[in-house]
A = this chain, B = another copy of it.
C-alpha cells in the first residue's frame, strides 16, 4: 500500500508563550508525511525554491518519505509563514504569508504518486485539489482538508472536490460554515449527503469527532502538560489517521476509522509537544503504540 500527499512545503517562523523559532521546516505536506511515515510508504508532492536544500529534504528522506515529486522551482523561494500564538493555543495569528513558489503551483504527479491507494489533499486551492483527485483514479480512500478562506472565495470548487473524496477532515467551525448549519451533527450529515462517507471534525485541544453513515465517535485531545507549538497538529493528525488506514488495508469500516482516529490523536499530540517537526523527527514507533494504549485506557468506562 502507499500514500500520496499534495500540499505545502514551507518555512515557518513561529512564536508561542513557550519560545520561538525562525524558518523551521514546516507546511502541511511535511507535517502530514512525517506522521504518516511511521505506518506506510509516503510520497510528497509540492513545490520548493532554491532556498530548500539537502538539509530539509534529508529530514523527509531520513523518515523514508519519497521526495521525487518535490518540485524545485529555479529562482523561486519556498512558501513562508510567520505566525504566533497567545496562551489560547487553539488560535493561530498570522503575521506574514509569502506564497512564493506556491503561488503558481500546478501539481505534477509521477506515475508512482498517482497510483497510491490512499491520498491526502492537504489545504490548498480547491481547483488544484480537484485536478489532483482526478489523476488518482486508483485511490481507495481520499482525505481532504480545507479552510475558511476557500469556503469564502472558492465555494463551488470546494463543494465539487468535497463530493469526490471519502473523508472531509476540517475544523468543526468550518464544517458549520461550509454547510450553513450551526448544529455539528446536522452539518456533518449534510457533508455526507454531498458524497464523503466520513467526516472528521477537528476540535483543537478538545480532540476530534468522527461522523460516518453508521455512527459517531469522538476522542479527546491527549492531555499534555507541555504544549509548545500547535502548528501542524491537524496535518499530523491526518498523517496518523490516513497512514494507519493505508497500512491496515482492510475494509475501511467504522472499526478501522476509529483506530485511525486514535493514531491521529497520538501523532498530533507528539507534534505539539515541541516546535515544528522537532519532536516527530525523533519519535519511535514504540512511543506511538504506548501512547495509543494510554489513550485507550483514558477513554474506557
Instruction: Look across to chain B and name the residue whose beta carbon is closest to the beta carbon of A299.
Output: B299
Q: Which residues of B contact A217 (CB under 8 A)?
A: 298-299, 301
Contacting pair B301 A259 (CB below 8 A): yes
**Copies per complex of this chain:** 2
- Chain A residues touching B, range: 35 or more
- With A218-B299, A298-B218, A299-B218 in contact, is A225–B186 under 8 Å at CB? yes
Cα A209 to Cα B223 in complex, Å, equals: 10
Contacting pair A218 B215 (CB below 8 A): no
Contacting pair A220 B223 (CB below 8 A): no
Cα A298 to Cα B211 in complex, Å, equals: 10
- With A185-B225, A186-B225 in contact, is A301–B262 under 8 Å at CB? yes
Q: Which residues of B contact A206 (CB under 8 A)?
A: 203, 206-207
CB distance from A216 to the nearest CB of B (A): 5
Cα A265 to Cα B299 in complex, Å, equals: 14
Q: Which residues of B contact A185 (CB under 8 A)?
A: 223-225
A182 on the interface (CB 8 Å rule)? yes
Cα A147 to Cα B226 in complex, Å, equals: 26
| 6 CB < 8 A contacts A-B | A183-B225, A185-B225, A207-B220, A216-B223, A218-B299, A258-B301
Using a CB–CB distance below 8 Å, which chain A residues touch chain B? 17, 87-89, 182-186, 189, 203, 205-207, 209, 211, 215-220, 223-227, 255, 258-259, 261-262, 296-301
